[in-house]
């Protein structure tokens, strides 16, 4: 029934927006199945019909991944400054205020400590709902601090990314966070402590080009867009059509940029198994030698 469908390309209806609509019923973005919102926690906010992974916020990920009640947030009082007094169509300070009201967060990342199946860890989870999960000074500082604490306390570090990249409104200050987070992770690596990086839809730009790609183990949710520049920019730059599935998790797995694609329902188990491997492997070997 073409007469009530949009047939012109390039015109986006509100249905194209990935933010979850309000109400009891939820339409799957991929297969159009109508889903019952109160049941979505049970399926980890994935579609039971087609496995489409709905976007969820940082708090929800912490709930899914960590032992109940184990999370302790750190550096929540860090808030973005506006040293450039940047303004595009809106003032940066107004965008920050709008994002804060919308998400209840002080910036696009929540960081702290917790445990997975009793294994202690430091964790930082980006939140796409806050200015597209963009990395400005606060995101970079929180990632650096949580990493330094992991080093001090000899904990594993887990980062979970969903980001449009560097925060343009902070100019060069946002790009500096790439170097800062990478330097902090180099210290973690030098201390022999593991970093597990989980990539979710989408992980792009400066976040991909820094801490998100520096995991000792890199996991990705199915069909997440992961890349530096987006496919449209690349296509227009190289003047070539891109291969099927380009920049999606499964494509990156095939090409060696991702270690495993993990359904959200299995993330917690997978994470616990990886951390147990890094934490217990030497002890297991020692026990074997004692025998």
Binding site for Zn ion (CB under 5 A): 28, 30-31, 33, 47, 49-50, 52
Residue among 54 and 71 whose Cβ is closer to Zn ion: 54
- Nearest approach in angstroms of CB 50 to Zn ion is 3
Q: CB of 132 within 8 A of CB of 164?
A: yes
Residue among 54 and 128 whose Cβ is closer to Zn ion: 54
| Burial 152-182, CB ≥16 within 10 A → b, else e | eeebbbbbbbbbbbbbbbbeebbbbbbebbb
- Nearest approach in angstroms of CB 163 to Zn ion is 24
Residue among 45 and 71 whose Cβ is closer to Zn ion: 45
- Nearest approach in angstroms of CB 46 to Zn ion is 8
- Nearest approach in angstroms of CB 54 to Zn ion is 9
- Nearest approach in angstroms of CB 16 to Zn ion is 16
Residue among 49 and 67 whose Cβ is closer to Zn ion: 49
Contacts 24+ apart (CB under 8 A), 277-285: 278/156, 278/194, 278/216, 279/119, 279/156
Helix pair 172-190, 137-153: axis angle to 10 deg: 10
Residue among 55 and 180 whose Cβ is closer to Zn ion: 55
CB neighbours of residue 199 within 10 Å: 29
Residue with tokens 């792009």: 204
- List the one residue out of 194, 205, 203 whose CA is nearest residue 151: 194
């Amino acid at each position: 029934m073409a007469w009530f469908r949009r047939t012109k390309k390039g015109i986006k209806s509100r249905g194209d927006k990935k933010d979850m609509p309000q109400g009891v019923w939820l339409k799957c973005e991929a297969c159009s199945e109508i889903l019952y919102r109160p049941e979505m926690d049970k399926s980890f906010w994935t579609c039971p019909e087609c496995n489409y992974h709905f976007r969820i916020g940082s708090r929800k990920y912490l709930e899914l991944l960590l032992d109940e009640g184990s999370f302790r947030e750190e550096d929540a009082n860090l808030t973005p400054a506006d040293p450039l007094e940047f303004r595009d169509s809106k003032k940066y300070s107004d965008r920050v205020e709008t994002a804060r009201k919308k998400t209840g967060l002080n910036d696009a990342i929540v960081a702290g400590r917790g445990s997975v199946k009793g294994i202690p860890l430091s964790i930082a989870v980006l939140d796409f709902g806050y200015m597209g999960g963009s990395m400005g000074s606060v995101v970079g500082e929180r990632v650096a601090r949580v990493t330094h604490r992991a080093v001090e306390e000899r904990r594993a570090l887990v980062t979970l990314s969903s980001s449009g990249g560097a925060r343009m409104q902070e100019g060069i200050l946002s790009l500096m966070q790439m170097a800062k987070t990478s330097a902090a992770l180099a210290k973690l690596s030098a201390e022999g402590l593991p970093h597990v990086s989980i990539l979710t839809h989408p992980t792009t730009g400066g976040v991909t080009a820094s801490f998100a790609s520096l995991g000792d183990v890199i996991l990705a949710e199915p069909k997440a867009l992961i890349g530096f520049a987006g496919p449209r920019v690349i296509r227009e730059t190289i003047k070539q059509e891109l291969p099927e599935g380009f920049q999606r998790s499964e494509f990156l797995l095939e090409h060696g940029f991702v270690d495993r694609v993990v359904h959200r329902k299995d993330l917690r188990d997978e994470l616990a198994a990886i951390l147990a491997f890094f934490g217990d492997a030497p002890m297991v070997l020692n026990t074997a030698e004692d025998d």
